[in-house]
Amino acid sequence: MGIGDGVFVVAYGNMGGAERLWWLLRHFGHEACAVIELDAWQGPLTTGDEGIEPAEFIPRPRDDDTIDAAELERRRGELVVVDARLPARWRGETNPLDQIPGRIPAALNAPWNETPPELPEGELVAYCGSGVTATVLLHRLHLAGREGRLYPGSWSEWEQLRLPVERDLV
C-alpha cells in the first residue's frame, strides 16, 4: 500500500473524502497525515504512475475517537452534539435522503461546508448523514485546537434505530 511507519500521508479531494481518509488514518494509529486543498498547492503536479515503495500498514485502532448509538443516547444531555449536515436536513425538512427527517435532540448545527461556528465547551460529538462529512467538521475543529469524537453510524443509524428525534416546526 505504501503507507507505513515514517510515511507522511497528504490527502486531497473534495466532498469530505480527504478528511475521511485523514480521520481513518488517525483512527487506525497513523498520526503522520494531513489534508491539503488542491487549489492551495503551489508546487508542480505530475501525471502518470509513480513508483511507490511497498510498506506494511500496522493498524493500531484507537478507542477514544468514536461513540456508539447506545452511549450517545445515554449521554446526549451532557455532550456537545453537533450535526454537520446542511441546515435543511438539520431542521428536519422533508428530503429524499432521510426516512425520518430531523436531528438528534439538542444537536447544534455546524454545516460541513462552512466555517464552524463557536461551539460550547464540553465533550464534542459530531455526526452527519453517514459518517463522512462529519469528519470535515472534526478536521476543521482539530486545526483550531479542539478535538471531538465521531458518531460513525450518524443519522442513518439513529433513524433506523428509531431513537428520539427533534425537528423544527416548518
Task: Report yes or no on 170 lying in a domain.
Answer: no
Residues 41 and 74 in one domain: no
Residues 17 and 85 in one domain: no
Asked whether residue 57 falls in the same domain as residue 5, the answer is: yes
Measured over the CA atoms of residue 57, residue 63, residue 68 and residue 70, the dihedral's sign is: positive
In a domain, 169, yes or no: no
Residue 165 lies in a domain: no
> Are 76 and 53 in a shared domain?
no
Q: Mean of the pLDDT values across residues 143-164?
A: 97
Number of domains comprising the chain? 2
pTM of the model: 0.92
Q: Are residues 57 and 78 in the same domain?
A: no
Indicate which residues carry an active-site annotation: 128
Q: Residues 16-50: pLDDT tens digits?
A: 899 999 999 999 999 999 999 877 778 888 888 88
pLDDT tens digits, one per residue of 99-146:
999 999 999 999 999 999 999 999 999 999 999 999 999 999 999 999
Q: Which residue has the cell 443516547?
A: 73
Quick one: DSSP state of residue 40?
A: G
Residue 170: the pLDDT is 55
Residue 166 belongs to a domain = no
The secondary structure of the chain in percent helix, strand, coil, rounded to multiples of 5, reads 25, 10, 60
Could you tell me the residue range of the domain that residue 123 belongs to? 69-160
The phi, psi pair for 122, rounded to 5°, reads 130, 175
Tell whether 128 is covered by a domain: yes
- Does residue 126 share a domain with residue 108? yes
Chain length of the chain: 170
Q: What is the dihedral of CA 100, 101, 104, 110, to 10 degrees?
A: 150
76, 140: one domain: yes
Which parts of the chain fold into alpha helices (H)? 17-27, 69-75, 87-91, 134-143, 154-160
Tens digits of per-residue pLDDT, 49-83?
888 888 999 999 999 999 999 999 999 999 999 99
Domain boundary among the residues 61, 79, 113 is at 61
Q: Are residues 56 and 73 in the same domain?
A: no
